[in-house]
Structures are given as C-alpha cells and as structure tokens.
C-alpha cells in the first residue's frame, strides 16, 4: 500500500447468497513513510543542561520514538508530533529532558517503531555522546563556618567532573601552606573542625589531576561563649526564671500585706477599761 496514503479505498464482500456485493468505503492513512531516525546532537554536550534531540520527518502515522543510553531505555523523554497539512505527514521530535554527566563516552540510540512486510520493526541509529564541562571544586557548606565550644563540624571538599578519566588528589591546608590532610584517588576530602579559640581562621582545599589545579578557601569563625548569644546550644535562656520570680515575689508581697493588716488592726482596736 506504499504511496496510497490519503487515497479512497473500497472493501467489497460478495458471495452467492447475496444479490449485490456489500461495500465499505474509507481512506487509507496507516501507511508507514518517513526518513530514518536522526539524532541531532553536537559533537560535545555542553554540560548537563544540553538537550539531545531525536527527530523523524515525513512520517505517517506519527511514530513512537524511544531513546536509549546503552541498553537503558530513558523514561524522561518528551515527544512532540507536528502535522503538515500539505504533505499529510508528521514531523516527530523526542527530547531528553535531563542529561546526566555519567553518559559521557556512552552510546545513545534513537529508535523509531515502524511496520514492514513482516510486522513491527525497529529502525535505530546510534551515536557516541561526549559531554564537555570543566571540573568544579566546591564545599558542602557555606563559608564562613561558625564554631562554638564542644561542637564539631565536618566539611567536605568535592570535585564535580564530567570527565570520568583519572582520579583527583585533594589536600586540605592552612593558609600558611601547612598540610592538614591529603586524599588520593578520590573526588572528595573531609576536614574535621573543632573550636580553637581563635577569632578567625582560613583553610584551603586544593585539587589536582594531570595539569589541572583547583582551589577553594574556607573561613572559620570561632565564637566565644559570651559572644554566642544566638547559639541555642550555648545560651541558657533566663525566660523560665521570670514566672517563678513573679510567683515568689507575689507570695512574699501577699504575706507582708497580710501581716501588715493584722498589726494595723491590732493597733486600731479600742482598748477596754
């Protein structure tokens, strides 16, 4: 039936039991046409905000498009079908809503389901994905960090790198380049902070791999107990004393008032002859 799209067709049924053949008329619309699927994606994906696109043009009917990363079918794919009234065909576009940096170097396949003489057939085209984004060094907390006595804070220094080749070496240093801790073959390094009594101190996290070198600083503020008026762990609120103070004061005042009244009444009482 290829080439007969939008044509009028007649289905005729007849046998010896009826005088006139029974006919049903309709329009052919389920004719598979269209180009093979095409993946529209740049040589590099610019970070995780990029959008890989799979497109099928000149198709009847609108095809179902699947996108795979390796053998994994992506579920967060949005498909749009646009009908062309002049050619009576569809242009269907499937977009990946969220790109993952772990796809770097993997194969992406676009699959269009269609029909042939043997039934349902899948037509696929695949392409290797390269994600381009520079590594970023960051901390899991906001600088500066407020420290109080008897409180320990653990700060994590992390490298977010789209390139999965090779591991990073990270090192925590004091601002005078004194090494505190070194973490090798990893993408994170932990620093344990305790109250030292110094008003302010700065730490540096360094990360390097091959010729790449990253750094980020962390400022720590040590708050003395008399300064920690906003720290609930260090401040004992005197509010609960106030009702007690009022109650005790009221009781004392009441007792004194009663005693004063009794004494006054005794002095004012007329003496007998």
Could you tell me the two tokens for 117? 């003489």
Q: Rounded distance, CA 220 to CA 222, Å? A: 7
Domain ranges of the chain: 32-126, 136-227
The structure tokens 């080439």 sit at 3
- Average pLDDT of span 163-183: 89
* Least confident interval from 161-165, 207-211, 214-218, 220-224: 161-165
Instruction: Tell me which CATH homologous superfamily contains domain 32-126.
Output: Immunoglobulins (2.60.40.10)
Residue 235: pLDDT band with limits 50, 70, 90: very low
Is the peptide bond preceding residue 230 cis, with omega within 30 degrees of 0? no
Residue 228: pLDDT band with limits 50, 70, 90: very low
Q: Which residues contact 173 (CB under 8 A, 6 or more apart)?
A: 179, 180, 203, 204, 205, 206
Q: Which residues contact 141 (CB under 8 A, 6 or more apart)?
A: 153, 155, 156
Domain boundaries 136-227, corresponding CATH code:
2.60.40.10
Supply angle C-alpha 195, 201, 203, rounded to 5.
105
Q: Mean pLDDT, the chain, as a whole number?
A: 79
Could you tell me the two tokens for 239? 């509010």
Per-residue confidence (pLDDT) for residue 187, from 0 to 100: 87
Segment 54-84, tens digit of pLDDT = 998 888 778 889 999 999 999 999 999 999 8
164 vs 41, residue with greater confidence: 41
Per-residue confidence (pLDDT) for residue 122, from 0 to 100: 74
pLDDT for residue 265 is more than 50: yes
Q: Rounded distance, CA 252 to CA 76, Å? A: 74
Share of residues in the chain with pLDDT > 90 (%) = 31
Same CATH topology for 32-126 and 136-227?
A: yes
Is the peptide bond preceding residue 95 cis, with omega within 30 degrees of 0? no
- Average pLDDT of span 198-205: 92
Reduced to 3 states, what is the DSSP secondary structure of residue 189?
strand
Reduced to 3 states, what is the DSSP secondary structure of residue 16?
coil
Q: What is the pTM of this model?
A: 0.50
Asked whether 180 and 191 are in contact (CB, 8 A), the reply is yes
Segment 95-119, tens digit of pLDDT = 998 888 788 888 999 998 765 544 5
Decide: residue 185, CB within 10 A, 0-12 exposed, 13-18 middle, 19+ buried.
exposed
Query: Strand pairing of 89-96 and 77-84?
Result: antiparallel
Instruction: Using alpha carbons, list the distances in angstroms from residue 171 to 140, 146, 214.
Output: 16, 22, 11
Asked whether 37 and 65 are in contact (CB, 8 A), the reply is yes
Per-residue confidence (pLDDT) for residue 17, from 0 to 100: 82
- Average pLDDT of span 148-155: 91
Q: Rounded distance, CA 93 to CA 35, Å? A: 13
Among 28, 34, 35, 33, smallest CA distance to 11 is for 28
| DSSP designation for 50 | -
Helix (H) or strand (E) holding 22: strand 22-27
């Amino acid at each position: 039936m290829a080439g007969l799209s939008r044509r009028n067709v007649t289905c005729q049924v007849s046998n010896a039991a009826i005088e006139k053949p029974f006919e049903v008329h309709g329009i052919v619309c389920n004719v598979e046409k269209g180009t093979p699927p095409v993946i529209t994606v740049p040589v590099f994906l610019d970070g995780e905000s990029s959008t890989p696109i799979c497109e099928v043009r000149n198709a009847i009917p609108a095809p179902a498009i699947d996108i795979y990363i390796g053998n994994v079918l992506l579920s967060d794919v949005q498909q749009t079908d646009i009908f062309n009234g002049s050619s009576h065909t569809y242009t269907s576009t499937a977009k990946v809503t969220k790109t993952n940096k772990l796809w770097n170097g993997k194969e992406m396949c676009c699959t269009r389901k269609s029909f042939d003489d043997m039934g349902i057939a899948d037509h696929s085209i695949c392409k290797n994905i390269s994600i381009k984004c520079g590594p970023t060094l960051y901390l899991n907390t906001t600088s500066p960090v407020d420290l109080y006595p008897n409180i320990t804070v653990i700060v994590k220094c992390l490298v977010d790198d789209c390139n999965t080749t090779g591991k990073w070496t990270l090192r925590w240093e004091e601002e005078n380049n004194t090494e505190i801790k070194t973490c090798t073959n990893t993408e994170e390094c932990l620093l344990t902070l305790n109250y030292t009594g110094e008003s302010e101190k700065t730490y540096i996290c360094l990360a390097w791999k091959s010729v790449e070198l990253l750094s980020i600083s962390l400022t720590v503020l040590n708050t003395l107990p008399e300064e920690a008026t906003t720290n609930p762990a260090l401040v004992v609120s005197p509010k609960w004393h106030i009702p007690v103070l009022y109650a005790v004061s009221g009781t004392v005042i009441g007792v004194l008032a009663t005693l004063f009244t009794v004494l006054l009444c005794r002095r004012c009482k007329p003496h007998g002859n």
